[in-house]
Amino acid sequence: MQEKLGDRKVIAEDLGYLTPSVKRLLKKTGFPGMKVLQFAFDSREESDYLPHHYGTNCVVYTGTHDNNTTAGWIHELSARDRKFAKDYLNVSQNKKIPDAMIRTALMSVAETVVILMQDYLEVGEEGRINMPSTVGRNWTWRMQEGTCTKELAAHIRDLTSIYGRCSRSLDTKRKEGKEVKKIALFLAEGFEEIEALTVVDLVRRARLEIQTVSISEEKEVPGSHGIFGDGG
């Protein structure tokens, strides 16, 4: 495949029973495997799909296009499996499971996370994309205009930010960028040498609450009360 197509990003659909040859192939190629959370909650046995078993080289899904939506899947579970899922996800009500599943996927160590839009919308079985080995109603679900509200977009952004799945907000980046420029200009007026990377690092790590800055050559800066505060 590499000879014909070159270097391509591949996700190995290693679902179901994994034979030793499949495991060897994954190890040899380095392809990430799939982890589907809906397959994890079998109360009869310990499942490799439970997040505490994950390595980083995998892609985790709440469910795939061949699964029910999470809101629909809840009602397919046996009473024991549903209780296990609730205990694992630390929720007490069925309606809270979709959001808990999303959070669990996002907070896992998996390199990549895929969440169906139906799960963010908490759509029931009517939002299922595909029922394997059937014809007629598959691939017909459509998200209606206006369904993805600003509030939902903000919620998705907040979740991905909380669990480190996206960069800092654009507003934060802009603010930090402006403050870094201010610091650079401020220092340039009073010091012959500055270590710009150290300044940038301090700004980002201390979130602009800078108390002191170590530099290679110290000089007294007239009116040095600016962004550093008194005696900064």
pLDDT tens for 154-181 read 999 999 999 999 865 555 555 555 555 5
Which pLDDT score, from 0 to 100, does residue 178 have?
Answer: 55
For the segment 47-76, the average pLDDT, to the nearest whole number, is 94
The residue that leads in pLDDT, 229 or 2, is: 2
Mean pLDDT of the chain: 79
* pTM > 0.75: no
Q: Is the pLDDT of residue 65 over 50?
A: yes
User: Kindly report the CA angle at 136 between 130 and 138, in degrees rounded to 5?
Assistant: 20
Contacting residues for 103 by C-beta, under 8 A, at least 6 apart: 159, 163
Question: Is the torsion defined by CA of 145, 148, 151, 153 positive or negative?
Answer: negative
* Measured distance CA(158)–CA(96) in Å, rounded: 17
> If you search the block for the tokens 């397959």, which residue do you land on?
39
- 62 near 102, Cβ under 8 Å? yes
Which pLDDT score, from 0 to 100, does residue 176 have?
Answer: 55
- State the helix-helix crossing angle for 79-89 and 97-107, rounded to 10 degrees: 50
> Measuring CA to CA, which residue among 185, 203, 204, 205 is closest to residue 194?
185
Which pLDDT score, from 0 to 100, does residue 25 have?
Answer: 85
